[in-house]
């Protein structure tokens, strides 16, 4: 069971974007950082365990060429082995900051090339794998940046071509030490999933076909891909083969966010039906297949939910954002 805790006030509502909440726990300072997108700006907040906001910062998208300020599409903290970077994507490019947002260390402008004037250009979908940060784009390509241990000498090392439509989300998990282990999955607007093995050169392991609806959010846990779709379904696949293990009619409307608590195998799903569900994933000792148990349902009345994340690796608390809601809702286990 979870109970409602003290909310964290926002300067303005979260934008109606999928995956519109990022959370970074800093145990050494007993703080939790929250990042939320609103139009051309991103709000960063730090809060104590009891929910008291301690600091706020606002970041704006680098304007580049153009008259109107570009809209931000996502903000996300990437935890690398040797540093933490805050990555911000927009309709103009990709910005990388030190974890507190104080210093921008890298800017990558999106090359629209021969794109039609009516087609939107943007970056969306952010994840880190080893010393790489991967960012999806409107064209379906995934940009791979090689991150040094310190300093701004970040290099675009590779572009991955596996999608024909816009990337929606990227998820990774630490490599398990096996050469054939898949440790990254990317999703797109057609529902296609691409499973990759990271390294000096990323390798496409398998593709899991879509079925006519977008896949806005995806997660990866112990070789299992958890994908949330626009029809409210959550599907669990074997990452290495693409085999479907579980199909859940989890929500009545489109899913807008998935998250995992890796220490305990809890999966969080949030959707436009105002519900947040928590599921327990496990491996059957007999078949080796993934099994699912429903643990909790939380309704956020009269709210278009657009972001939800666990606040700790054990899944003992989670946070929710909604459109036209000027606060971050917090819940913790009883």
For residue 55, the model assigns a pLDDT of 81
Pull the structure tokens for residue 259: 């998250």
Which of the residues in the chain have pLDDT under 70?
Answer: 51, 64-67, 113-118, 175-180
Return the sign of the alpha-carbon dihedral for residues 308, 316, 23, 186. negative
For 28, list phi and psi in degrees, rounded to 5. -65, -30
For residue 118, the model assigns a pLDDT of 66
Q: For 199, left (φ over 0), alpha (ψ -120 to 50), or beta?
A: left
For residue 64, the model assigns a pLDDT of 60
For 178, list phi and psi in degrees, rounded to 5. -100, 135
Dmax of the chain from CA atoms? Answer: 61
How much is the CA Rg of the chain, to the nearest whole Å? Answer: 19
Give dist(CA 25, CA 320) in Å, integer: 15
Please spell the DSSP secondary structure of 162-218, one letter per residue: --SS-EEEEEE----S-TT---EEEEETT--EEEEE-SSS-EEEEEE---SS---EE
Pull the structure tokens for residue 89: 């994507």
Give dist(CA 44, CA 23) in Å, integer: 10
Pull the structure tokens for residue 150: 């310190």
Sorted by where each begins, the domain ranges of the chain are 2-63+70-333
For 11, list phi and psi in degrees, rounded to 5. -70, -30
Domain 2-63+70-333 has CATH 2.130.10.10: yes
For residue range 265-295, list pLDDT tens digits in order.
999 999 999 999 999 999 888 877 789 999 9
For residue 251, the model assigns a pLDDT of 97
320, 311 in Cβ contact below 8 A?
A: no
Give dist(CA 224, CA 226) in Å, integer: 6
For residue 272, the model assigns a pLDDT of 96
For 168, list phi and psi in degrees, rounded to 5. -105, -40
For residue 65, the model assigns a pLDDT of 55
Beta bridge partners of 25: 32
For residue range 117-139, list pLDDT tens digits in order.
667 899 999 999 999 999 999 99
């Amino acid at each position: 069971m979870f109970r409602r805790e003290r909310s964290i006030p926002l300067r303005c509502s979260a934008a109606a974007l999928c995956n519109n909440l990022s959370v970074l726990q800093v145990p050494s300072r007993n703080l939790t950082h929250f990042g939320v997108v609103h139009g051309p700006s991103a709000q960063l907040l730090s809060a104590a365990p009891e929910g008291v906001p301690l600091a706020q910062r606002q970041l704006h998208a680098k304007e580049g060429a153009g008259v109107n300020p570009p809209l931000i599409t996502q903000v996300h903290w990437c935890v690398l082995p040797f540093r933490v970077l805050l990555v911000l994507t927009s309709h103009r490019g990709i910005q990388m900051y030190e974890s507190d947002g104080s210093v921008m260390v890298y800017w990558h402008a999106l090359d629209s090339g021969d794109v039609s004037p009516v087609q939107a250009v943007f970056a969306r979908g952010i994840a880190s794998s080893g010393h790489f940060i991967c960012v999806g784009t409107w064209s379906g390509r995934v940009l791979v940046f090689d991150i040094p241990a310190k300093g701004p000498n970040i290099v675009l090392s590779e572009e991955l071509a596996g999608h024909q439509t816009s990337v929606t989300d990227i998820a990774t998990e630490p490599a398990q030490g096996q050469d054939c282990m898949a440790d990254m999955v990317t999703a797109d607007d057609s529902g296609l999933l691409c499973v990759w093995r990271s390294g000096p050169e990323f390798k496409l392991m398998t593709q899991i076909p879509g079925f006519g609806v977008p896949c806005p959010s995806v997660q990866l846990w112990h070789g299992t891909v958890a994908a949330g779709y626009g029809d409210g379904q959550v599907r669990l696949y074997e990452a290495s083969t693409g085999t479907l293990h579980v199909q859940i009619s989890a929500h009545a409307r489109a899913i807008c966010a998935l998250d995992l608590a890796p220490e305990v195998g809890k999966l969080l799903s949030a959707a436009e039906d105002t519900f947040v569900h928590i599921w327990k994933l496990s491996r059957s000792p007999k078949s080796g297949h993934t099994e699912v148990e429903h643990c909790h349902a939380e309704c956020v009345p009269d709210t278009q939910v657009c972001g939800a994340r666990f606040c700790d690796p054990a899944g003992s608390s989670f946070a929710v954002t909604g459109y036209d809601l000027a606060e971050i809702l917090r819940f913790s286990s009883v």
